[in-house]
Amino acid sequence: MHIECIYDEPAILGESPLWHPKEQVLYWVDIEKPALHCFDPQTQQHRMWSMPTAIGCIALRATGGLVAAMRYGFASIALPTGEVTMLTSPLTDADGVMFNDGKCDRAGRFWAGTKDIAEQADIGSLYKLDANNHCTEMAKGFAVTNGVAWSPDNTTFYVCNSPARIIYQYDFAIESGALSNKRVFAELPAESGYPDGLTVDSEGGIWNAHWDGWRVTRYLPTGKIDVVIKMPVRRPTSCCFGGADLKTLYVTSASTRMNTEELKENPLAGCVFAVEVGVRGLLEPHFLG
């Protein structure tokens, strides 16, 4: 598979790639140098908006702009101004956690998980934001919540606990958003790194970026490994489908917490990549709030 570096100004912690089908552009965030980025693959134009605090993830918003999980709560981001408006803040500094990864489900609800700031204790949770901006805690017990996604038929929910090297799956009820029957979907060996952000394609394949693993892996719905893409960076962080035919896998990465020698080993750390994978993805839903 051909891997192209499409944006080579490195992020510290690039995350949450999101394809905008109407604009035909890619959005993503830098959590540790808080910013929202946008890149047009056709014109090569790049835009960036500084954020007032850490921004973990984004999703499209039905009324325009984006919805985001900021450090302690949920916010809307107006475009093209980048103005941030807080919607609800369920966390405080005393909780020892912050929001991390998330996505919107096909009923128009925005889900985002939290992580232990020290990335050790299983004190993170998974939250659901409804269209009326009501926030509900849906699951507990994650050190770092990552890789939120749903199967194409909306019956299975995927989420990672990264330090444990486990991708979990739950039964999912699309009408209520209820989760049940938690079980292990995949467990990564040490040499494969840690499961980070993920996405699901139109065939039900699960694509997971492996932090410290130099790879993105496609799993079949059974949990069997189908494809491994060797990436030119040690810390790919997340992936999404985009392009006119939704067959391009966009991959973000990180340069954070690397010494000089490690950065020499992977000089493209923090850049954004495009991989033509030959499998069609799915359009990301809009938050209805």
CATH number at residue 208: 2.120.10.30
Structure tokens at 12: 């510290």
pLDDT of residue 1 exceeding 90, the answer is no
Read off the pLDDT of each residue in 246-258 and give the average, rounded to a whole number.
Answer: 97
C-alpha distances (whole Å) from 182 to each of 63, 161, 166, 248 are 34, 12, 12, 31
Percent pLDDT > 70 in the chain is 100
User: What's the confidence (pLDDT) of residue 129?
Assistant: 98
Cα separation, 245 vs 74, in Å, equals 31
- Residue pair 32/13 in contact (Cβ under 8 Å)? The answer is yes
Structure tokens at 13: 């912690």
User: What's the confidence (pLDDT) of residue 146?
Assistant: 97
Cα separation, 60 vs 58, in Å, equals 7
Chain CA centroid to CA 133, Å: 21
Q: Indicate the pLDDT class of residue 94, thresholds 50, 70 and 90.
A: confident
Q: Indicate the pLDDT class of residue 201, thresholds 50, 70 and 90.
A: very high
User: What's the confidence (pLDDT) of residue 288?
Assistant: 97
| E-only strand ranges, 143-266 | 145-150, 156-161, 166-172, 179-187, 194-200, 206-211, 215-219, 225-230, 236-242, 248-253
Percent pLDDT > 90 in the chain is 99
Close Cβ partners of 261 (under 8 Å, ≥ 6 residues apart): none
Q: How many domains does the chain have?
A: 1
- Residue pair 71/52 in contact (Cβ under 8 Å)? The answer is no
Alpha-helix runs per DSSP H in the chain:
260-265
pLDDT of residue 216 exceeding 90, the answer is yes
pTM more than 0.95: yes
Show the domain range for 22: 3-287
Q: Indicate the pLDDT class of residue 286, thresholds 50, 70 and 90.
A: very high
Q: Indicate the pLDDT class of residue 128, thresholds 50, 70 and 90.
A: very high
pLDDT of residue 251 exceeding 90, the answer is yes
Cα separation, 74 vs 114, in Å, equals 12
Closest to 112 measured CA to CA, from 65, 59, 44, 190? 59
Read off the pLDDT of each residue in 115-124 and give the average, rounded to a whole number.
Answer: 96
- Residue pair 34/49 in contact (Cβ under 8 Å)? The answer is no
Cα separation, 39 vs 272, in Å, equals 10
Read off the pLDDT of each residue in 56-61 and give the average, rounded to a whole number.
Answer: 98
Read off the pLDDT of each residue in 59-76 and give the average, rounded to a whole number.
Answer: 98
Q: Output 1 or 155, whichever has higher pLDDT.
A: 155
Active-site amino acid positions: 196
Read off the pLDDT of each residue in 116-136 and give the average, rounded to a whole number.
Answer: 96
Read off the pLDDT of each residue in 36-43 and give the average, rounded to a whole number.
Answer: 98
Cα separation, 120 vs 77, in Å, equals 31
